[in-house]
Amino acid sequence: MNAVITAIGGFVPPAILDNKKISETVDTSEEWIEKRTGIKERRIADDDTATSDLASAAIENLLENYNVDRKEIEALVLATATPDHILSPTASKVCEKSGLTNAFGVDLNAACSGFLYALETAASMIESGRYEKIIVVGADKMSSIVDYEDRNTCILFGDGAGAVLLEKTESNYGLMKSILRTDGSGTSSLLVPAGGSKTPASMQSILHRSHFLKQEGSFVFKKAVASMSQVSQDVLAKNELDTDEIDWVIPHQANLRIINAVGESLNIDSEKVKVNIERYGNTTSATIPLCLWDFREDFKEGQNLLITTFGAGFSWGATCLKWGIMRDDKTTKSFRANVRKKSVLTV
């Protein structure tokens, strides 16, 4: 029994924060940001939009476009590092907003590796035979924890959400073996110091801006390159795949230089490495599903994908999957109809 992706949805808020605007508020430049990160702009949710709204919008996009009956969904695994509240679970709110009345919902926080961890969890639930249809969503409102006075971090992050439907299959399509890793000694290099049980909110914590994300950028950068490169090679070996059998690489989108370095270490054609960081920045739990959503037209039945991530914790990992047969996609159908219409007109 395998678990295969049969539908995808995505959502990014309409408001754009570009490098020009950031360079007007902190000591940086448009050129520096683009050259050092590959990011040109990111999407920012408005004050009334919470992570649950981003997640629900991505799920709605999936349910609508692929004609999925929401009543059939048995579970929702929500990867997020920016829950609506510390208590109660954001997944409960998402189930309510998305009308998933026959599903249970659970939050999973593994920062930038959250979606991969959630995918592995949901796939295992399906492979066990206990569940047949699970939605996995990665959603983050990073703008709620980013310090827009800190040039080390405010250039990097954006808001967004992506969702996939995982279904049972007896074919050989779907998720293969994964490798997931954590190392808590990396905690202090990338975290939001206050607002949790270790340092509850206080006047002091607010004064020190400790409710915002802090990062030792270049240390995390080096760890990310080394870990993603190694775990990608290990997961290929575990699945008995050669690099040239991989059709597409979907890396976590934290920095274009990290993505390029990982691609080079794998000795893989850069055309095969999917990148959309220039438009969204680092959306944490949402980068992988947003990439799958953005490039879904490129993936063909039977192709092999390699997914790899690195994030706070530290948390990292990789998996391979064989692309299967998607449910009927309204957006693809109308896209094809438009192409046909256009070519008829040209003739």
Q: Does 227 bind ligand UT7 (CB under 6 A)?
A: no
Per rule CB under 6 A, is residue 217 in the interface with ligand UT7?
A: yes
* Segment lying near ligand UT7 (by CB under 6 A), choices 96-104, 120-128, 151-159, 330-338: 151-159
Alpha helix segments (H runs only) across the chain: 19-25, 30-37, 51-65, 90-98, 114-127, 203-207, 217-238, 256-266, 277-280, 287-294, 330-346
Q: Judging by DSSP bridges, how do beta strands 41-43 and 16-18 pair with one another?
A: antiparallel
Nearer to ligand UT7, 112 or 273 (CB): 112
Residue among 56, 210, 227, 282 that touches ligand UT7 (CB under 6 A) = 282
Q: Is residue 112 close enough to count as binding ligand UT7 by CB under 6 A?
A: yes
Under the binding rule (CB under 6 A), the answer on residue 214 touching ligand UT7 is no
**Span from 59-67, 136-144, 214-222, 226-234 in contact with ligand UT7 (CB under 6 A):** 214-222
Q: Give yes or no: 252 in active site.
A: yes
In the complex, the smallest distance separating the C-beta of residue 83 from ligand UT7, rounded to whole angstroms, is 18
Q: Is 19 a catalytic residue?
A: no
Identified catalytic residue from 19, 252, 291, 320: 252
For residues 160 and 174, which CB has a smaller minimum distance to ligand UT7 in the complex? 160
Cβ 63 to ligand UT7, closest distance in Å? 29
Contact stretch for ligand UT7 (CB under 6 A) within 6-14, 29-37, 91-99, 269-277: 29-37
For residue 241, the Cα-to-chain-centroid distance in whole angstroms is 24
The reply to whether 308 sits near ligand UT7 by the rule CB under 6 A is no
Residue 142 binds to ligand UT7 (criterion: CB under 6 A): no
Calpha distance 79→5 (Å, rounded): 17
Work out whether 324 is an interface residue with ligand UT7 (CB under 6 A).
no
Instruction: Tell whether omega for the bond before 221 is within 30 degrees of 0, i.e. cis.
Output: no
Q: Is 282 a catalytic residue?
A: yes
Instruction: Name residues whose C-beta falls within 8 Å of residue 328's C-beta, 6 or more positions apart in sequence.
Output: 66, 67
Compare residues 99 and 217 and give the one whose CB is closer to ligand UT7.
217
Ramachandran region of residue 299, left (φ > 0), alpha (ψ -120 to 50) or beta? Answer: beta
Does the footprint of ligand UT7 cover residue 224 (CB under 6 A)?
A: yes
Furthest-apart CA atoms within the chain: distance in Å: 70
CA–CA separation, 100 and 123 (whole Å): 19
Instruction: Single out the residue of 218, 267, 343, 346 in contact with ligand UT7 (rule: CB under 6 A).
Output: 218
86 to 105, contacts with ligand UT7 by CB under 6 A? none
User: Residue 329: exposed, middle, or buried by beta-carbon count in 10 A (0-12, 13-18, 19+)?
Assistant: middle
Distance from C-alpha of 270 to C-alpha of 256, rounded to nearest angstrom: 12
- Residue 299: both structure tokens together: 């993936």
Q: What does the block give as tokens for 35?
A: 């050259």
Structure-block tokens of residue 345? 């007109």
Q: Any contact of residue 220 with ligand UT7 (CB under 6 A)?
A: yes
Name the residues annotated as catalytic. 112, 252, 282
Residues that bind ligand UT7 (CB under 6 A): 28, 32, 36-37, 112, 151-152, 155, 217-218, 220-221, 224, 254-255, 258, 282, 310-311
